[in-house]
Amino acid sequence: MEVALFMAACQSCQPFTISSFGDFGLMLPTLKKGLFIGLALSLAIPARAEAIEFNFDWTGQIAGFGVSGSFGYDEIQSYTGGIVRTDDLDFLNISFFAPDGTLLETYTDNHLDPGVNFNFDTSTQEILQAGSYNEPTGLNLGAPNFDRESGNDPALASGLSFWSKPPRSSTPHLHIDDWADTFGIPAGFSPHEDVSFPTRTTQELVDTSRVGAAYLPPNGQTAVPLNETGQFARVTAVPEPTSVLGLLGIGTLVAGLKRRQRSHQAEATKA
């Protein structure tokens, strides 16, 4: 990863050669200084050097509820089938947002909470979401699940959950549920606050007559256009701190070399 970041940072750099500097010994102090700074910065935070972090986000297809979160794990460990499971995580945080962007709830270190199911494919860098919420290919984040197939007592229902399909369904999709209707936001699809179906357009969902009236004309509109499908949660990698800090040292090196080159060119012009 460090090499890739270095190459990306240097794509705009002008090429230089040793001959551009005349006496090679003149550039050695700058070279040594830049390399030393890069190395020192890379070694400054060894505690997280083996951790890899990701962010994820999702927006509902009907109401426009949102979730965003982050997770991390030890990247040098081996995982069965290349899948990082709930118990493998170093941390997992998730926040829920209302359609207007208001923060509703945040679950910190959610991987330690009961009922959480999280599975991440390290080869594709995707969260597994197509399976049932209680299976190794499914997802349940936030509060425990109180779906009618969960076995949990509905009288105890509370909190917010972001979860994949129930076992009774064969179509991959995601939900947000406010189990106790704490926030009083109109349901988007059947009893759920929001859903997304990656294989179905919004119009197809409207045609089921299960979309909430609050999101249909003349009362409102769906978050995703009628001719588009919903989406799974999307994952983005967080740059490693050692890589970013190391590039500061490399940047010092490159800038120093370019200044040295300009100085020698100016002296050659005067001569």
Query: Mind listing the pLDDT tens digit for each residue in 122-168?
Result: 999 999 999 999 999 999 999 999 999 999 999 999 999 999 999 99
| 264 & 145 share domain | no
d(Cα 175, Cα 147) in Å, to the nearest integer?
11
pLDDT tens for each residue of 101-119 = 999 999 999 999 999 999 9
Is the model's pLDDT at 77 over the cut of 60? yes
Both tokens of 86, joined, read 């709930």
In this structure, the answer to whether residues 86 and 114 fall within a common structural domain is yes
Same domain, 132 and 152: yes
Q: Does residue 99 sit in the same domain as residue 156?
A: yes
What pTM was estimated for this model as a whole?
0.74
Domain shared by 189 and 90, yes or no: yes
Domain membership of residue 239 (yes or no) is: no
Q: For the chain, what is the domain count? A: 2
Residue 63: inside a domain: yes
Cβ contacts of 123 within 8 Å, gap of 6 or more:
82
Inter-residue contact 176 to 160 (CB < 8 Å): yes
Asked whether 239 and 135 are in contact (CB, 8 A), the reply is no
Same domain, 29 and 87: no
Buried b (16+ CB within 10 A) or exposed e, 106-141: ebeebbebebbbbbbbeeeebbbbbbbbbbeebbbb
- Claim to verify: residue 32 and residue 69 sit in the same structural domain: no
Contact 9, 248 (CB under 8 A): no
Say whether both 171 and 67 belong to one domain: yes
Rounded Cα distance, 178 and 268, in Å: 73
Burial 54-73 (b: 16+ CB within 10 A, else e): bebbbbbbbbbbbbbbbbbb
Instruction: Tell whether 263 and 177 lie within a shared domain.
Output: no
Q: Is residue 237 part of a domain?
A: no
User: Can you tell me the distance from the alpha carbon of 139 to that of 119, in angstroms, rounded to the nearest whole number?
Assistant: 7
Q: Where residue 4 falls among pLDDT bands split at 50, 70, 90?
A: very low
DSSP state of 81: G
Look up the domain containing 31 and give its range. 2-47+244-270
- The answer to whether 54 and 68 have CB atoms below 8 angstroms apart is no
- Check whether 203 has a pLDDT greater than 50: yes
